[in-house]
A and B are shown apart, each in its own frame.
Chain A
C-alpha cells in the first residue's frame, strides 16, 4: 500500500469513527496511532506520542484558554446573562424584530467576556429563547438568532479559537485577539441588520404583539451589567492593547477581575464558584484532549505528504492568489459542515500554512478569516455545534428549525469575509496600531 493511500485511509477512518459517536479525540487519535505504527513502526510511534502529549501539556501560551474560560464562567455565575438580555430588550425591544436584535446584542456583550461560542450560545440561549418564543417569534428566527449570536463568542475577544490558531501558526495571540474587535462589532451589526431585513421580507417571522414602552430611567439603570462587562473588557483588552500585559497575563487578570466582580455583586456563593471552576475544568479537559488527538493525527497526515500533494496541486495550476483563497474558503465550508471546529483548525492549519506563507498572506488577517469560517461551521448542518448546544438547553426548538434559521446568518458572515478580502485593514487596523 502506498503512503498516500495510508493517508486517505486514515482520514476516512477518522470520519467513520466520528459519525459512530466515538469521542472526537479518540476518532482522531486511534487512526493516527495505527497509521504511524504502520508507516514508521513502534519506536517512532512512542516518540511521537511522548512529544505530542508532553509538549501540549507543558505549554505556557495554552494556559490562556482555561483562564479565559474561567472568566466567562464566573461572569455567567454572577448572573449576567439575564441582565444583558433585559438591557438590550429595554433599548431595542420596540424595533421590528427587536427581541432578535436584543439577542444578538446580549450575545456580543457576553462574547466580550467569554472565549467560547458554545458557552455564549448556551448561556444567552436559555433566556433569549424563552422570551422570543413567548413573544411569538418563529422558531427558525429564534434559533437562528441565538446560534448566530453565539458564534460571536470566538470572534469578539477573548477567544479560544484565536489562541489555538495563534499557537499553531506562532502568531502573537495579543494581536489576534485585538484583530477580532472591529470585525466582531461589524458582524454584530450585520446580524442585527439581517434580522431586521428578513422581517421586512417576511413579516410572519414575528407576531404583532408590541413590546411595552420602557421609561428612560429603567433603560439606563438596566445598563449596569453591561457596564461591568465593558469595564472588565477594557481592562483586559486595553491592557493587551497598550502593552501593559501579555495575553496570558491578561487572561489571569480577567479571571481574577471576574471573580472580584462576582464577589462585589454578592452573587458568588461557594457552590457557584466551584461550579464555575469545574465547568472550566471540563472545558479544559475536552479542549486539550482534542488538541492532543489532532496533533497525533497531524503527524500521520504530514508524513503521508497529504499537505505537499495539496500545495503541489494548487501551485501546479499556477492559480492566482484570489482563486487559491477562494478554494481555501470552499474547503473550509465543506469541512466545517462535517467536522468539529477545534479539530478542524488544529488538523488543517499546519497543512495550509506553507501555502499561506508562500502566498505571503498576513497570518493575523487570515486568523480572522479562519475564525469567521469556523463561525459558519458552528451553524451549518449536519455538524453544527452551536445548534446542538441550543437544542441541548432548549427542548422545544427542533434541530431542523434551528438549522433552517441559521442558514440566513451565513450571508452576513460571507459578506464580512468578502469585505475582509477586499479591505484587510478591517482586521489589521487595530493590531497594526499597537505601539
Chain B
C-alpha cells in the first residue's frame, strides 16, 4: 500500500509541476505575444502554441484535482447519512470515476493516429494525445488509491 501511495504521489507531483510550468509559461507567452503583435511583429502560430499549452495544462490538472478532492460534488444529502453508507457511496463514485477515466484513455488509445497535425505549424497531435491518455490514467490511479482506502475503512467499521 505504501509503495502504491508513493508511486501515485509521485505521478501526481510530476503532473502538477507540469501544469505549474505550463501555466506560468502561458501567462508570459500570451502577454509577450500580445505586446509583440501590438508593436507590429505578430508571432506566427501563437494561437496554436496556446492551444497545445491548454492540452498540457489540462493533462496535468486532472489527477491533481482528484488528489485534492477538488472535483465538485454535491454532498448536501449524503453528508447526513450514516458513515458506512457514505463510504459505500464513495466506493461507487470512485468506481465510476475509474471506469470513466479508463474508457476515455482506451478511446484515445484505439483512435490514436500518427498523421493528424495542426493547420499552421504542422505540429503532430499524437504526442499530446498520448499525454492525454497518461493524464486520464493518472486520474484513475488516484481514484484507485482512494477506492482502496474506502474499502479498508469500510472493513474496519464493519468488523
Contacts and interface: CB of A to CB of B under 8 A. Distances in A.
Interface stretch (A149-157, A245-253, A344-352, A354-362): A245-253
A383 interface: yes
Nearest to A273: B24
A283 B64 CA distance: 10
A57 B128 CA distance: 10
B74 A50 contact: no
Contacts of A289: 62, 65, 71
A63 to B, nearest CB: 5
B57 A249 contact: no
Indicate the size class of the contact surface on chain A: 35 or more
Contact of B96 (A24, A30, A60): A30
A18 B78 CA distance: 10
Contact of A24 (B71, B76, B107): B71
A371 to B, nearest CB: 19
A21 B89 contact: yes
Nearest to B93: A22
A136 interface: no
Contact of B61 (A46, A285, A290, A340): A285
A224 interface: no
Interface string A1-43: 0000000000000000111111111100110010000000000
B51 interface: yes
Give the dominant DSSP class at B's interface.
helix
A281 B20 contact: yes
Nearest to A239: B34
Contacts of B79: 21
A66 B26 contact: yes
Contact of A46 (B28, B54, B57, B111): B111
A63 B50 contact: yes
A340 B74 contact: yes
A253 B52 contact: no
A353 interface: no
B110 to A, nearest CB: 7
Contacts of A283: 70
A266 interface: no
Nearest to B103: A33
Interface string A41-56: 0000011011001100
B55 interface: yes
Given A58-B55, A253-B31, A248 B50 contact: yes
B89 to A, nearest CB: 5
A277 B23 contact: yes
Indicate the size class of the contact surface on chain B: 35 or more
B54 A62 contact: yes
Contacts of B121: none
Interface string A272-300: 00100110111111101110000000000
B134 interface: no
A285 B71 CA distance: 8
Interface in B112-144: 125, 128-129, 132
Given A24-B71, A244-B38, A256 B110 contact: no
B65 to A, nearest CB: 3
B157 interface: no
B154 interface: no
Contact of A19 (B57, B68, B77, B96): B77
A49 B53 CA distance: 21
A374 interface: no
A286 B31 CA distance: 25
Nearest to B129: A54
Interface in B72-99: 72-79, 86, 89-90, 92-93, 96-97, 99
A259 interface: yes
B75 A21 contact: yes
9 contacts: A17-B96, A26-B97, A54-B132, A60-B51, A66-B23, A70-B27, A252-B26, A255-B31, A281-B65
Q: Which 9 A-B pairs have the closest CB atoms?
A: A252-B30, A285-B65, A285-B61, A249-B34, A21-B78, A23-B71, A256-B31, A282-B70, A281-B19
Interface of B: 16, 19-20, 23-24, 26-31, 33-34, 37-38, 47, 50-55, 57-62, 64-66, 68, 70-79, 86, 89-90, 92-93, 96-97, 99-100, 103-104, 107-108, 110-111, 125, 128-129, 132
Interface of A: 17-26, 29-30, 33, 46-47, 49-50, 53-54, 57-60, 62-63, 66-67, 70, 244-246, 248-253, 255-256, 259, 274, 277-278, 280-286, 288-290, 340, 382-383, 385, 388
Given A21-B90, A281-B23, A285-B62, 7 more contacts: A19-B78, A25-B100, A281-B20, A281-B60, A281-B64, A285-B71, A382-B76
